Structure 1
Amino acid sequence: MKENKVLKSSMIVMLFVIVGKILGIVRDSLVFAKFGTSHSSDIYVWCFGIVYLFTSLGYGLSTTIIPVLTEYIETKDTRERNSFVNNVTNTSMLATVIITGIGILFSYYIVYYFANNLSNDPMLFKQTVKILRIMFLSVLFLTLQGVVAGALQAHKEFSIPSAMAAAANLIYIIYLSLFVDKFGLTGFAITTVLAFFIQFIINVPKFRKLGYRYKLEVDFKDKDLRKMFILMIPIIISTATMQFNLFINRSFAIGLYEGAASILDCANKVTLLTYEVFAVAVSMIIYPILSTFIVQNNHEEYKKSLVKSINIINLVMIPAALAIVILREPLISVLYLRGKFTISSMKLVSEALVLYSPTMVAYGVRDVLNRAFYSAKDTKTPMIYSVVGVVINVVLSAVLYRHLLVPGLALSSSISSVAITLMLFLKMNKKFPGIQFSSMAKTVGKISIASIIMGVIIYFMKKIFIINLVSGFVLNLTILFVCAAIGSILYFVLTYLFKIEETMYVWNIFKSKISKK
């Protein structure tokens, strides 16, 4: 396997992810335009957060099935692979049906205890319970999606799993454009269930093409099934804790003022723009590659691929985080300033965004490190540190939200995510001695210097362009376009002059293409 396999594969997947992210931006813009930062948007954001806690089931399945199924692909025939996948599907769906039923049955109490600010208004409380019960049905498709998408990735098929977000966002956009005025928030909850179903179903044709056929096979005694579920429990806990962090922050926010949860969610979405396009693609690609190296007992290539992946993450995330902070007002204005999303909402989101920005880099690096531990069949370490991160976040949130309101919740989330990432770094260094973290630190230093120089330039460029922040969509779009274009070129040149390996690799590919033409 070539040294730059991660970079090449990630760029291909990114094309699909970018489409999904663009549609996601359109979706979010329509959501805030239709609902604003109101009780309705707070209800949806909070209920969606509850359901998203259970994405850990799908993520746990897709993550743990990859290394086990990779071994099946290497050593066993199609019939045995098919039987194993069917067993995983049926046993996990049995558990999911039970969880979904319990969630629907106890929705009243979930709302009462975790969103008691809404319980003060009987109408809002009743509506929240109704929306939550509808959206709990999404959990069924999260499980199916996790199994099928994980199987595809085990076969190094990444394009369709990376297109799931685009398909789901298209469903949201159709509803928000054509039907939301008639069916409102209830229809939006039903649309959410449909979107999760679409994410599952688009994987099925390729899944069948690989030779998989569904059968009602259940064998609780299967040793590989047990091994997978043992590995999966810590992953579910560690992944759920990440979503639980967001849920806790939203629950604190929903008690502050109308629209506070939506403000926090909007700031988080802007922060994760680059992360969801780039870092998710890298972590998706690197996991089966690292799993293969572990199966082959090739620790040297494992360590090289890990370092290269983290360097790639930092190369994009560090300048992106800085640029988003500097250009936050025009960016938020272009994305959301329309309909019921007001100037005051934009300013509140902008304040929270500054303190949220460190999570962009931390999330990206943490995802790669988590996948590295999972590929080595160590699922306990990420789980333990994730639980520690939740404790840090809850304590800090309880203190900071009283004094700093929504920005305080953003700050607590940033501190928690950075702390988790640093702990994972230290543990990985002990687990695999010889990883060249010193060279990686030098690369981070070069990236940081280049990013700061770029940041200073685009800051003064913004000052030159700006006359009145909210004078119009065209002004803000011009600021973004010009600053992003010139800033990106400047940053690329600086990282090339600093001889950052990943930048030089991209430049050499470009030169070779030009010379051939």
Structure 2
Amino acid sequence: MRVGAVARLARAAGIVLVLNLLSRVLGFVRDAAIAAQFGAGPATDAYMVAYTIPYFLQTILGMAFLTVMVPTLTAYLVRGEREEGWRVASALGSWTALSLTTLALLGMAAASLLVPVLAPGFPPEVEGLAARLTRIMFLSLPFMGTGMMISGILNAGNYFTSPALAPALSNLIIIATALFFGSRYGIEGLAVGTVVSFVAFLAVQLPDLHRMGFRYTWRLDYHHPIVRKVSLYLLPVIFSLAVNQLYLATNRFFASHLAPGSITALDVGIRLVNLPLGVFVSAVSTAVFPALSEEAARGRREAMAHLTQKGLSLVTLAVVPAAAGLIILREPLVRVVFERGAFGSAATLMTAEVVYYASWGLLAQAAQPILMRSFYALEDVRTPALAGVISVGLNAGFSAVLVRHLGHGGLALSNSLAATFYALTLYYFLKGRLPELNPSFLLRSIGLTLLAAGGMGLATWQGGRWLGLFNPLQGLWELAGRVLAVTAGSAGIFLVLAWFLGVEEVTWVKAMLLKGRRQE
């Protein structure tokens, strides 16, 4: 891979990582504010279910348009055909806004029919509340989905700042709504604030779109060959991207028959586990996708394989120690982040159980975005979709069995098992499409990282016991300080062990940070 590509990847990943970290921190502040204001009960369960379908659609459809936009527009930019690229991007943007607005109107009309499908165990009063909230939430669909399309256009042009900043602004608005308007307007006011946050998500990216030189014109151009090609790609891409959201929908279906608060525990627990995915994995996959698309457009398959392996190794370096830390410190972490106000000790224990089982699938979930983007850069959209179909079916089967024995924890474990199958299947078939991949390189990276994480885990456990992290009687701020100290110490121990064992990615991360400050 060319040095310039490495430097560009380094800068992009560094920018996205910092802003993703800000967004994720604000995301936990958001969840904590909602938990403190509304607790873990019927109202928040209704809010989570109401959030499900609009968020599912806006994330999946918006991400699908983003996913097909990056390689499509990158190919035009590589060939120097900017005007034709703007024409295709305008047509795809018009289709995005039109289709999502139509879906929003249909969803609002069908809200009372959708809620019983998602949460058949809700009593009538909670079902009615969830339906009202769903109608409000559907208003956000065109704004969030179109905003993600704009993110794809900007990423293709190597603009990463405003797309990564947009989620942080969205979280800030939801936090303000919960804290300042929650007691007055209740859970319905929170739903309105959520819609406003997605309007801001779109608006904050518009100035960079202008700086990029993009000129939007309303057009549909359905007969344009690239527009038609992209439209054929969308359905399999949508399903592939929907896999994790379908896991969550399955969770809510089964959890609606369990004790009140089970859906909320699953949601907030999985969000905690997903923190490394949102910070590190998203940064790497966002930065690597335009680079993969460029190398594919130039026919450089060895460079593609190198980028894929580097991406997988980097996310392994980030999420394996994170998973170990989450498993060991699950209860004190949940207590620090969520336990206040109406979110009590019982909710903490329920959520910690989710964190334990979900953490075992963290590496598999981290690998999926890198592997899928490699397929998309190769213009193969069918393989991830077919593997995803099987994965979703397995998750439903695992859930039906494990929920009887482990309750809501069994649902989180089912997600982990299905995600592991999905990642292994994707890698197997990608090796067939990209023989330049070197499995021994990846296995060595994973093995050494596991050894370093194992040593770190022992130190984390001993440090936690010594500082009394597992004592539920500590005050919040005292516990938070000790958790932070143990986390920082554990991270340092892991990096030292990884360096001692010769994990190549530790050196590369150092180089990435340095190159991020230099000109190519």
Shorter-chain TM-score: what band?
over 0.9
How far, CA to CA, are the matches of 1:64 and 1:377 in structure 2? 9
Question: In the alignment, does 2:22 pair up with 1:19?
Answer: yes
Alpha carbons of structure 1 residues 81 and 430: separation in structure 2 relative to 1, 3 Å = closer
How far, CA to CA, are the matches of 2:244 and 2:363 in structure 1? 15
Match of 1:110 in 2: 114
Written as runs of structure 1 = structure 2, the 5 A alignment for 1:102-501 is: 102-118=106-122, 120-121=123-124, 123-466=125-468, 468-501=471-504
How far, CA to CA, are the matches of 1:420 and 1:316 in structure 2? 20
How far, CA to CA, are the matches of 2:513 and 2:358 in structure 1? 35
Segments of 5+ residues of structure 1 without an aligned counterpart are none
Q: Spell out structure 1 runs of 4+ moving beyond 6 A.
A: 508-513
Farther-moved stretch of structure 1 (79-88 vs 406-415):
79-88
- Partner AA of 1:20 in structure 2: S
Match of 2:70 in 1: 66
How far, CA to CA, are the matches of 1:444 and 1:223 in structure 2? 42
Farther-moved stretch of structure 1 (231-240 vs 421-430):
231-240
How far, CA to CA, are the matches of 1:485 and 1:53 in structure 2? 34
How far, CA to CA, are the matches of 1:392 and 1:310 in structure 2? 24
How far, CA to CA, are the matches of 1:81 and 1:510 in structure 2? 32
SS of structure 2 residue aligned to 1:117: coil
SS of structure 2 residue aligned to 1:18: helix
CA contact (8 A) 2:46 2:127 kept: no
CA contact (8 A) 1:59 1:146 kept: yes
How far, CA to CA, are the matches of 2:224 and 2:402 in structure 1? 49
Q: 2:90 aligns with which of 77, 86, 97?
A: 86
CA contact (8 A) 1:333 1:470 kept: no
Alpha carbons of structure 1 residues 247 and 509: separation in structure 2 relative to 1, 3 Å = closer
SS of structure 2 residue aligned to 1:188: helix
Alpha carbons of structure 1 residues 15 and 299: separation in structure 2 relative to 1, 3 Å = same
CA contact (8 A) 2:14 2:513 kept: no
Q: Please, what TM-score do these two structures have when normalized by structure 1?
A: 0.95
Q: 2:40 aligns with which of 37, 41, 45?
A: 37
CA contact (8 A) 1:31 1:176 kept: yes
- CA deviation digits over 1:76-97, x for unaligned, max 9? 5443232222211222322222
Number of residue pairs matched by the alignment: 511
How far, CA to CA, are the matches of 1:276 and 1:495 in structure 2? 23
CA contact (8 A) 2:48 2:264 kept: yes
Per the TM alignment, residue 8 of structure 1 is displaced from its structure 2 partner at its CA by 4.3
Farther-moved stretch of structure 1 (15-24 vs 212-221):
212-221
Match of 2:79 in 1: 75
Per the TM alignment, residue 512 of structure 1 is displaced from its structure 2 partner at its CA by 11
**Aligned-residue RMSD, C-alpha:** 1.7
- CA deviation digits over 1:436-491, x for unaligned, max 9? 11121011111100100110011011111117223211332233122112211111
Alpha carbons of structure 1 residues 365 and 400: separation in structure 2 relative to 1, 3 Å = same
SS of structure 1 residue aligned to 2:357: helix
- Partner AA of 1:15 in structure 2: V
How far, CA to CA, are the matches of 1:438 and 1:316 in structure 2? 19
Per the TM alignment, residue 41 of structure 1 is displaced from its structure 2 partner at its CA by 0.8
Per the TM alignment, residue 428 of structure 1 is displaced from its structure 2 partner at its CA by 1.0
Farther-moved stretch of structure 1 (448-457 vs 245-254):
245-254
Q: Please, what TM-score do these two structures have when normalized by structure 2?
A: 0.95
CA contact (8 A) 1:91 1:220 kept: no
Alpha carbons of structure 1 residues 496 and 46: separation in structure 2 relative to 1, 3 Å = same
How far, CA to CA, are the matches of 2:303 and 2:426 in structure 1? 20
Alpha carbons of structure 1 residues 465 and 65: separation in structure 2 relative to 1, 3 Å = same
Farther-moved stretch of structure 1 (435-444 vs 67-76):
67-76
Per the TM alignment, residue 47 of structure 1 is displaced from its structure 2 partner at its CA by 1.4
Q: 2:54 aligns with which of 51, 55, 58?
A: 51
How far, CA to CA, are the matches of 2:514 and 2:110 in structure 1? 61
Per the TM alignment, residue 126 of structure 1 is displaced from its structure 2 partner at its CA by 1.7
- CA deviation digits over 1:373-404, x for unaligned, max 9? 11111111111111111101111111211221
